Amino acid sequence: MKGSDSQIQLGGERRQVTAVFYDIVGSTELLLSNDPEKYLRSIASLHNSSEDIIRRHGGNLSRRLGDGGCGYFGYPAQVEDAAEMAVQAALELIEMATRQSHRPRTVPFKLRVGVATSVVVLSSDGKDIVGTAPILAARLQAEAQPDTVLVAEATYQLTRNRFDYTFLRDAALKGFSEPSALWQPLARSPGSLRDRSNPARGAPMGGREKELARLTIEWNAASSGAGRSVAVTGEAGIGKSRLVAELRRSLGRENDADILLQCDARMTGEPMQPLIGFLEASVGKDVLQRGNAPQLREALHGIGLPVDERAARAIATFTGGDSRRKAGNIQVADLSGEAFRKDVIRAAVQILCAGEAAKLIVIEDVHWADSMTLTMLEHLVSHARHRPVLVVQTSRGPTAVAAAESLPLQGLGTAAMKSLVASVWGGAPPAGLVSFILQQCDGLPLYAKELALLLRSRHSVAPAAASWTKLLVEEGVSSLNDLLAVKLAKVGSARRVAQLASVIGREFSVSLLNRLLDGAAAASLEADLAALVAHGVIEQGATSNDAFQFRHVLQHEATYGSLLRTDRRRFHKRIAQLLSEEDVPSVPPAVAAWQCAEAGLHLQAAQFAMKAAEACVLRSAMREARQSLNLCAREIAAMRRHVDRRQFLLDLLQLQGVVATALEGEGSQLARRTYARAISLLKRDGSANREERLPLYWGWWFTAPNISLQQSRARVLVSDMEGARDPETRLQAYHCGWATSFHAGHHDYCLDCVGKGIALYDAERALRNRAFYGGHDAKVCGLGESALSYLLTDAHEPSEAAIRQCLEWADRTEHVGSMVHALYYGIVLRRCQQRYEDVHSLGERMLALADENGLVASQARANMYCGWAEAMASSPERGAARFEEGLRLQKLTGTDDNLSIHSDMHSEILERMGDPGAAVVPIENAIALGRKSGQWFWLAELYRRRAHLRLALGDAPARARRDLRYALQSAETQGAEWLAKRAGHDLRHHFG
């Protein structure tokens, strides 16, 4: 993308400037009362003298306005003492006019002068300056008395120690909503000579002896095997990173294989990016992206980080991705997602703590860590307690892991500040300098160092040392950001390279910079980078020889902030175009999305943001995915007239549904609204390819608030997908149909869907898709569901055949989600048949799998069923306790798809414990909830059980008879012949 357009040509710049406006008092009256030629000669002389004064003090007379003029300081060249020079020039303008008025043959002029400072926008041609300063200066001069200067508040603050001031009043100025303070400078305060010699560099760390000693103690404890974790906290520039660097230096570990993880403000949407950045630098990006677990394990072993196969496999899958997984496949019910996330976090901790030698792990800027990294840190801190590991986190706030010991950094005291200033000054600092810097910087080391460097560059030691206090002012600087901007101004033409680099990021590659430059700019790149390094703006990066980074994040922010928004956008656009053309080294899609968004390239930004979100979802990093989806939504909203906007919106809603379901639950209003909106869009678009939108249908079905609505949606799904060309699409539509139909008691429809669906089943396709559709194999699910429907319809042989095939096929898949699913079907079937030993045996198998893979919902179910079997067959007390524990755990997970049967089990246990009165309660609750939600399949049995309990409690026989009749009617309506026989038997037995 080289050519004339890629030259670094700024459209302008944001800069702090001080404006000076002067005006002749009563110019019209003077013109009318004097000879015109004399007046013209006098006013020309005044303007020439004014221009000389302004230029002598480093300013520029921008305009002559007939009876006045306007000058700027800090433009076109940025200087650190612009405000001071402007006020000095203004006072000299008054003196000059007074002297001139006493000369013969001249008109006696009196001047009014206004001075104001603000950030303005400068055009590249120098013709336009837009900002508050020139307007406010003009208003101030109009308020001034003859032969006086008025100074605005900002200018006063910058020069208050350079001049003696009198506060006049607060005035309401035209165009300004708030009153403006009017300050009148009377005279310059006495001062010393200036010295522009180069500042001393390399100031040592001082004032952190206690903190360094504390970290050293923690290191010694960790080295002995009692791991430690410390969170170093404090504001930006307080010295957190410097303290960590000093610890490594004092321990002689600067070149050791310690682990340094760097969080980044622009990477919060990229899960585990600090770890990935470390691994890329350690084993190479290619090794990570291949996704080859054995190769990754070998590479890690080669750098002294031995890990097991499972850890290598988890990280390889996480960093390498899976090409079979596309946005169109992602479903809301990938039950393996949380387990995979846990595997990755476990693997990350194992990598970081690998090896036997004592190790220092540093995580910088934790306040910018993504949520998955924060979770990993919690596990790391816990694991490190039993290893020779010291974990040090730095953070601006309380984001650091709570388990870490807190080490807050405060501002430096007087003694430490004196040491720092002396090291910068190259000797003992002048009297008063330390206290002045301490007052200005509030103990902030970075601010103090930069201010001392600035003052050292402008002053030398003088005999009258006491006079320094008033002279050592901010030199046009009111904040650390301004100091860093001044530092940038000193590098000359290299500033343009720094500004462009800041758009890339805090860390940037020379190769990318070179692609963005051309001609003379590209030819001088090496020299410009050297200048930036020499001035302490940037330094060599840690990841590669091609990389540089800004020495401090605040320097990066100040450099980026110095660009006009129009120039930022133009630079972002050029970078974004290179990224879209894949003509530069790849960057994380979340960063590419941000570049495109800042460039105003809405389509590309949406595409990259979607890609970033998809990658996060596939890594089970849902919170990071939400960040990218929010950006994507904003960019799509800006694509009002784009022909593909609706398709992008459907893609967005599809991923938003997945994320909302994962983070807030399938029953959340957000998840339901998201899928409802998507289906509404599909229905309105007659040209939409509904087959490609199966995931949206699936989510719409999955998040239905009750079984009745879910059943009606399942029938819509099956109907809309009947004409689909893809057999997997039709199979998964039937999958929805049979799952809901069983619970609704529609056994004929359930078995019909199973038959049609399994006929479409393909084992190879299942291998690719089972993780996306319910987290289990469709054939396993269909066989298990049919086993239950066959049982309830009194078809015992088909039921036994189906459950046998279900369990066998699940074992053949070797897929944990499918094996657990099959075992659950077997458990429910045997529970319906009251086969206690079989329930207990299958439950223990299920529990073992659940424990091994961290499947909490399955752990809860296994304990409930095993507890029920124990209570009914052997030990009521022990079994009841185990059932209650499982029930408690299940309530924590928030899901219960078999509430009817579980309530029946609870009731049976209570009756077995000798409390039939209490046993009625869960039955009645289940009946009410079943009727309300549409879960009808077990309703007949619940009525039958309530009739049994009523008779046991001596309730009115008529009420028991009514329950049995309801049971018989419900079973017959569903075609549940087996349940109908049970209800009919009890009705005849008790009532003839």
> What's the total number of domains in the chain?
4
DSSP 935-957: --TTHHHHHHHHHHHHHHTT--H
Residues 432, 376 within the same domain: no
Residues 245, 342 within the same domain: yes
Residues 156, 87 within the same domain: yes
Least trusted range by pLDDT, from 209-223, 814-828, 851-865, 887-901: 887-901
Residues 30, 156 within the same domain: yes
Least trusted range by pLDDT, from 262-271, 452-461, 683-692: 452-461
Q: Residue 918 sits in a domain of what CATH number?
A: 1.25.40.10
- Domain closes at, from 475, 502, 520: 475
Please, is 603 exposed, middle or buried when counting C-beta atoms within 10 Å of its C-beta (0-12, 13-18, 19+)? middle
Q: What is the mean pLDDT of the segment spanning 757-781?
A: 84
Pairing, β 148-151 against β 111-123: parallel
If DSSP codes are grouped into helix, strand and coil, which group holds residue 79?
coil
In-domain check, residue 234: yes
Q: Residues 825, 828, 829, CA angle at the centre, nearest 5°? A: 85
- pLDDT, tens only, 319-330: 875 444 444 444
Provide the pLDDT confidence category of residue 6 given band limits of 50, 70 and 90. Answer: very low
Provide the pLDDT confidence category of residue 546 given band limits of 50, 70 and 90. Answer: confident
Q: Residues 639, 643, 649, CA angle at the centre, nearest 5°? A: 60
- Domain closes at, from 459, 475, 491: 475
Provide the pLDDT confidence category of residue 86 given band limits of 50, 70 and 90. Answer: very high
- pLDDT, tens only, 25-36: 876 676 666 767
Residues 399, 269 within the same domain: yes
What is d(CA 397, CA 741) in angstroms, rounded to the nearest whole number?
Answer: 53
In-domain check, residue 855: no
pLDDT score recorded for residue 828: 97
In-domain check, residue 738: no
DSSP 296-359: HHHHHHHTT----HHHHHHHHHHHH--TT--TTT--TT-TTHHHHHHHHHHHHHHHHT-SSS-E
Quick one: which of 694, 662, 656 has its CA closest to 677?
656
Q: How far apart are the first and last CA of the chain?
A: 93
Least trusted range by pLDDT, from 21-35, 56-70, 320-334, 425-439: 320-334
Residues 436, 307 within the same domain: no
Higher pLDDT, residue 459 or 914? 914
Q: What is the mean pLDDT of the segment spanning 293-321?
A: 88
pLDDT score recorded for residue 4: 32
- DSSP letter, residue 400: S
- pLDDT, tens only, 359-393: 899 998 888 888 889 999 999 998 888 889 999 99
In-domain check, residue 748: no
Quick one: which of 476, 426, 414, 419 has its CA closest to 451?
476
Does the CA dihedral 78-81-87-88 come out positive or negative?
negative
In-domain check, residue 123: yes
In-domain check, residue 215: no
**617: pLDDT strictly greater than 90:** no
Q: What is the mean pLDDT of the segment spanning 16-21?
A: 88
Q: Residue 106 sits in a domain of what CATH number?
A: 3.30.70.1230
**Cβ(865)–Cβ(856) under 8 Å?**
no
On the CB side of 660, CA atoms within 13 Å amount to 23
What is d(CA 106, CA 884) in angstroms, rounded to the nearest whole number?
Answer: 105
| Residue type, position 878, single letter | R
**228: pLDDT strictly greater than 70:** yes
pLDDT score recorded for residue 955: 92
Tokens of 434: 């330390």
Say what percent of the chain tops pLDDT 90. 32
In-domain check, residue 864: no
Higher pLDDT, residue 524 or 862? 862
Provide the pLDDT confidence category of residue 915 given band limits of 50, 70 and 90. Answer: very high
Least trusted range by pLDDT, from 687-691, 870-874, 928-932, 961-965: 687-691
Report field, pTM of the whole predicted structure over 0.75: no
pLDDT score recorded for residue 694: 85
Please, is 741 exposed, middle or buried when counting C-beta atoms within 10 Å of its C-beta (0-12, 13-18, 19+)? buried
Least trusted range by pLDDT, from 305-309, 758-762, 902-906: 305-309
pLDDT score recorded for residue 202: 41
Residues 381, 424 within the same domain: no
- Domain closes at, from 359, 374, 408: 408
Least trusted range by pLDDT, from 685-689, 796-800, 957-961: 685-689
Residues 465, 373 within the same domain: no
Tokens of 475: 């030199």
Residues 295, 404 within the same domain: yes
Quick one: which of 857, 824, 829, 856 has its CA closest to 843?
824
Residues 388, 452 within the same domain: no
Residues 255, 368 within the same domain: yes
- pLDDT, tens only, 812-855: 988 888 999 999 999 999 999 999 999 999 999 999 998 887 77
In-domain check, residue 638: no
Residues 147, 272 within the same domain: no
In this structure, the number of other CB atoms found within 10 A of the CB of residue 863 comes to 24
Find the domain containing 449 and state its range: 414-475
| Residue type, position 82, single letter | A
Give yes or no for a cis peptide into 76 (omega within 30° of 0): yes
If DSSP codes are grouped into helix, strand and coil, which group holds residue 897?
coil
On the CB side of 331, CA atoms within 13 Å amount to 23
